[in-house]
Every structure is written in C-alpha cells, then in structure tokens.
A = this chain, B = another copy of it.
C-alpha cells in the first residue's frame, strides 16, 4: 500500500545523511548538490525532486539533528539541577566518538553568524534554548547552596555553552591536544560546592 511512500522516506533519509556528511567536510555554501547526490546514488536533478532547493535540504538536516539529540539525551526532560549538567557532559562524551556530527555543527554555526544565512535563525534559537536550560539548572543549584557564592547563574550558563562550542573547534583542529570532556568537568566543578561526579 504505502510502499512508494516508504521507499521515498528511505531515499530522503539517505540524502539527508549524505548532505550532513558533506556539510561537515565543506560547510554549507561550499557543498554542491551534485556531490551530495552522488553519495546518495542519484543525480543532482533527482535530489531536487525530493528537496526543491538547496536550502530545503539544509532545513531537513537541521531538523533531523534536533530530533536525534532530543531522543538520545532527553536534555530537556530532566528537572533543573545537577542531572541536566551531567547530560550535557554526556553529550560531549558522545560527540568525541562521533567527529562527523561535531564537524557539521561547528562549520554551520560559524557560517550562520551572518544574519542572511539560512541557518541563522536555527542557531539563534538553539543558543537561546541551551542557555535557558543551563541557566535554570544553575538557578536551582543556587537555591540549594550547591552553586558557589558570587557566581551569576545566567553568566555561568552562557559561559558553559560557549566553552562547549569553542572546545569542539579546537578539538577538530588539533584532536590529540584537546581534552574536551576534562575541560568541561573542570569548569563545571569549579563553579559548584558539591562534587559533580561523586566517587
């Protein structure tokens, strides 16, 4: 019955995977529909049958990434507090084992600083949501005395997100010299009065 639709969904998924891989290697603007299509096993005109424009394909890549992240880490599900912070650390640990994911994200984020980039709104929203989520946790920790006195929760949240992103670029550039997870743990622990990972 829905055989045709199923095949279409699989094909679309292959294209999105190929696109994410190419974006990671070349960024969005420098990626060509022909290269993406070749990896998906079709022509570039065939790709445009599934995604009407280059931008529509980018949107599909970003949407799938959001869905995957949400499903894997349940970042927003936990109540504000230490657990949320631990889940962000877990996300960083996952990323170290999946360089491709980090490449796409880092490259697109840098391109999207321009207001006219098609992914600009996506990243502006992404940053705001991440900051809000982390800030809520720091505020909760402040109320229970688990945040070091004098630390501003909102500023600490901004700092944590910026640190995650900066570490990723530096890690991609010189992988052997960057301990992403160690740096995140150090920074977080320094802000707390209780152990982040009790022995």
A79 at the interface (CB under 8 A from B): no
A76 at the interface (CB under 8 A from B): no
A110 at the interface (CB under 8 A from B): yes
User: Within the complex, which residue of B127, B128, B152, B162 is in contact with A163, where a contact is CB–CB below 8 Å?
Assistant: B162
Which of A12-20, A22-30, A33-41, A51-59 contacts its partner?
A22-30
Interface pair B151/A190, CB less than 8 Å apart: yes
How many copies make up the complex? 2
A187 at the interface (CB under 8 A from B): yes
> CA–CA, A110 to B194, complex, Å?
35
Interface pair A161/B155, CB less than 8 Å apart: no
**Contacts A120-B173, A162-B166 supplied; 14 other A-B pairs, CB < 8 Å:** A25-B114, A26-B29, A27-B27, A106-B113, A109-B110, A112-B173, A113-B173, A124-B173, A156-B186, A158-B170, A159-B167, A165-B165, A166-B167, A166-B169
- Residues of chain B lying within 8 A (CB to CB) of residue A170: 127, 158, 161-162, 165
> Which secondary structure dominates where chain A touches chain B?
helix
A-B contacts, 5 listed (Cβ < 8 Å): A107-B111, A113-B172, A127-B177, A158-B177, A162-B183
User: Known interface pairs A107-B113, A155-B179, A190-B191. Does A167 touch B174 (Cβ–Cβ under 8 Å)?
Assistant: no
- Residues of chain B lying within 8 A (CB to CB) of residue A187: 159, 187
Nearest CB of B to A92, in Å: 12
User: Within the complex, which residue of B128, B155, B164, B173 is in contact with A183, where a contact is CB–CB below 8 Å?
Assistant: B155
- Residues of chain B lying within 8 A (CB to CB) of residue A106: 110, 113
- Residues of chain B lying within 8 A (CB to CB) of residue A111: 27, 107, 110
- Residues of chain B lying within 8 A (CB to CB) of residue A103: 113
The residues in A between 139 and 176 inclusive whose CB is less than 8 angstroms from any CB of B are 148, 151-152, 155-156, 158-159, 161-167, 169-170, 172-174
